[in-house]
Homo-oligomer: A and B are copies of this chain.
Amino acid sequence: MTLRQLFDPSGIAVVGASATEGKIGYEAMANAARFDGPVYPVNPSATGELFGSRFVSSVTEIDGDVDLALCCVPGPAVPEVLEECGEAGIGAAVIYASGFAEAGEQGEALQTAIVDVADEYDISLLGPNTSGFIVPALDLRCSFASGAEEIPAGNVAVVAQSGGVGLVLAFQARRQGRGVSAEVGLGNRANVGFAEAIEYFDGDEKTDAIVLHVEGTDDGRRLLEACRESDTPVIAYKVGQSDVGDFAESHTGALTGDHELYTAGFAQYGVPTVDATDDLLDAAAALGDSPTPDGPNVGVVTAQAGPGIIITDRIQRAGGRLPQLTEETQERVDEILPGITYADNPVDTGRPMPEFGEVVTAVAEDDRVDVVLVYELFEAAIGFPIEELDGLAERVGKPVLFATEGIEEALADERQALRDVGVPFFETPERAADAAGALARYAQLREDDRVTDGGELQAGTNADEAVTADE
């Protein structure tokens, strides 16, 4: 199965398209109509045009190239629609309806029925029970969600078990001034699951990091193996540390499973895990926009001691280390700023100053440092050290992260300048430190992987338990 027809289609059929605002068939058509390729509203009982395209009565009647069907019909109608898709040569479908495997025996039978049809015709099924997906760079917005049309393009692929959480992440990414290469709600994962999505986005040129929202899955082994095979960094957020009872099962038809086993499994397969939606996007920004770090050693430069202490504390708890800087670097810092407040790691300059960027460069060039984290409260008269940061990460081959705080409107231009030179930006000291911690764990997990089994699954390990725990 390739997901090319799903995520990069020639044309789209919106089955169950409707002229009634508020209906899923209307909202999905409204969003899909933005696509720069043919989009056909399909409805046997409608005539005329919708968003500039003429209604057709069935996908088999479409005179043109269509790879993808958006099924805006009730669950029981889906098998027949898929049959027609198969006959029309459509290779991918999104099924928004619920009432499938998450909804008891009858729903399970319905899900089996659609998988059988999909198998027969080789159709990739996203869903059922999903809000769909978005690929902003292609203006491909196969979602009925309000606001889907405004999600900007970025380099992080969001692969969420829950369509709702996928949207949560997409909206957050936008609020943070970032974007997504794709936002995908897997829903019930009839035949497109985590593994298939990871494989696709690993090969996607627009994607530099993949983030997973996982409630629970019965194909954990394939998920983990896809993570290990991925050259693109993967970060996972596994929900369900406490007992969320049968509510989760009622959602996407999966038990949330054992949190510790999942975490151990992800770690063994080189995937750092985080514990919140904003952490997930922060870690992705750090991994996606930076050179891969060689190790877990973080060099911190701060213009204020208090946030520096928070960051120091937090990095260590998140799996990073703060090495002592080399004597050479300490001397260099002391030459730049004689009588500096604190010249070891973290380097604390006391307040922002014109030499701040030079200090950052000195720390970035220290051989003991694998990751650089910079914090300074914004001071309008000084600004950020854009010139020194421009190209620094690439030159030293290390991630350089930046966090600040101040009056948003006053620092907006400078923040944009940071973005323009590719410096990942974070909103609070804790979130910057957690992102540095994720980089540190990623480096450590890759290192562990190299020194142990070189990539092969060891029978009887924790990870093996993890992946079979809820099979």
Task: Please give the residue numbers on chain A whose beta carbons come within 8 Å of chain B beta carbons, in ascending order.
Answer: 21-22, 98, 145-147, 150, 160-168, 171-172, 174-175, 213, 215, 239-245, 247-248, 250-252, 256, 275-278, 304-310, 312-313, 316-317, 341-342, 344, 346, 348, 350, 377-381, 405-408, 410, 427-430
A306 to B171 CA separation, bound complex (whole angstroms): 15
Q: List the B residue with the shortest CB-CB distance to A163.
A: B306
Contact present for B164 and A304 (CB under 8 Å): yes
Question: Which residues of B are found within 8 Å of A344, using beta-carbon distances?
Answer: 247
Contact of A146 among B147, B317, B379 (CB under 8 A): B379
Contact of A277 among B245, B277, B309, B430 (CB under 8 A): B430
A407 to B134 CA separation, bound complex (whole angstroms): 15
Contact present for A313 and B146 (CB under 8 Å): no
Contact present for B147 and A378 (CB under 8 Å): yes
Contact of A247 among B160, B168, B243, B312 (CB under 8 A): B312
In the complex, the 3 A-B pairs of residues with the closest C-beta atoms, listed nearest first: A162-B306, A164-B304, A164-B306
Query: What are 26 A-B contacts defined by CB distance under 8 Å?
Result: A21-B381, A98-B341, A145-B377, A146-B379, A146-B410, A147-B406, A150-B407, A150-B410, A162-B304, A162-B306, A165-B306, A165-B310, A167-B405, A168-B307, A168-B405, A171-B406, A215-B309, A239-B309, A244-B312, A244-B313, A247-B312, A250-B305, A251-B305, A252-B305, A276-B430, A277-B310
Given contacts A378-B147, A429-B168, A430-B277, contact A309 B408 (CB under 8 A): no
Given contacts A172-B428, A313-B241, contact A377 B305 (CB under 8 A): no
Question: Which residues of B are found within 8 Å of A171, using beta-carbon distances?
Answer: 377, 405-407
Contact present for B242 and A408 (CB under 8 Å): no
Question: Which residues of B are found within 8 Å of A175, using beta-carbon distances?
Answer: 408, 427
Question: Which residues of B are found within 8 Å of A276, using beta-carbon distances?
Answer: 428, 430
Contact present for A146 and B309 (CB under 8 Å): no
Q: List the B residue with the shortest CB-CB distance to A310.
A: B239
Question: Which residues of B are found within 8 Å of A381, using beta-carbon distances?
Answer: 21-22, 146
Contact present for A250 and B341 (CB under 8 Å): yes
A163 to B304 CA separation, bound complex (whole angstroms): 9
Contact present for A313 and B240 (CB under 8 Å): yes
Shortest CB–CB separation between residue A213 and chain B, in angstroms? 7
Question: Which residues of B are found within 8 Å of A350, using beta-carbon distances?
Answer: 98
Contact present for A251 and B346 (CB under 8 Å): no
A93 to B283 CA separation, bound complex (whole angstroms): 44
Shortest CB–CB separation between residue A139 and chain B, in angstroms? 16
Shortest CB–CB separation between residue A228 and chain B, in angstroms? 26
Question: Which residues of B are found within 8 Å of A275, using beta-carbon distances?
Answer: 430
Question: Which residues of B are found within 8 Å of A242, using beta-carbon distances?
Answer: 312-313, 316-317
Most buried by B among A98, A162, A348, A377: A377
Contact present for A251 and B377 (CB under 8 Å): no
Q: List the B residue with the shortest CB-CB distance to A243.
A: B316
Question: Which residues of B are found within 8 Å of A378, using beta-carbon distances?
Answer: 146-147
Given contacts A150-B407, A242-B317, contact A164 B305 (CB under 8 A): yes
Q: List the B residue with the shortest CB-CB distance to A306.
A: B162
Most buried by B among A171, A256, A306: A306
A156 to B295 CA separation, bound complex (whole angstroms): 41
Given contacts A276-B428, A305-B162, A350-B98, contact A380 B147 (CB under 8 A): yes
Question: Which residues of B are found within 8 Å of A239, using beta-carbon distances?
Answer: 309-310, 313
Question: Which residues of B are found within 8 Å of A98, using beta-carbon distances?
Answer: 341, 350
A163 to B162 CA separation, bound complex (whole angstroms): 42
Contact present for B377 and A308 (CB under 8 Å): no
Question: Which residues of B are found within 8 Å of A247, using beta-carbon distances?
Answer: 305, 308-309, 312, 342, 344, 346, 348
Contact present for A160 and B428 (CB under 8 Å): no
Q: List the B residue with the shortest CB-CB distance to A165.
A: B306
Shortest CB–CB separation between residue A426 and chain B, in angstroms? 12
Shortest CB–CB separation between residue A163 and chain B, in angstroms? 7
Question: Which residues of B are found within 8 Å of A380, using beta-carbon distances?
Answer: 146-147
Contact of A278 among B307, B410, B430 (CB under 8 A): B430
Shortest CB–CB separation between residue A104 and chain B, in angstroms? 13
Q: List the B residue with the shortest CB-CB distance to A102.
A: B305
Most buried by B among A247, A252, A256, A348: A247
Known: A239-B309, A244-B309. 11 other contacts (CB 8 A): A21-B381, A146-B377, A162-B306, A165-B306, A166-B306, A175-B408, A213-B306, A239-B313, A247-B348, A248-B309, A276-B430
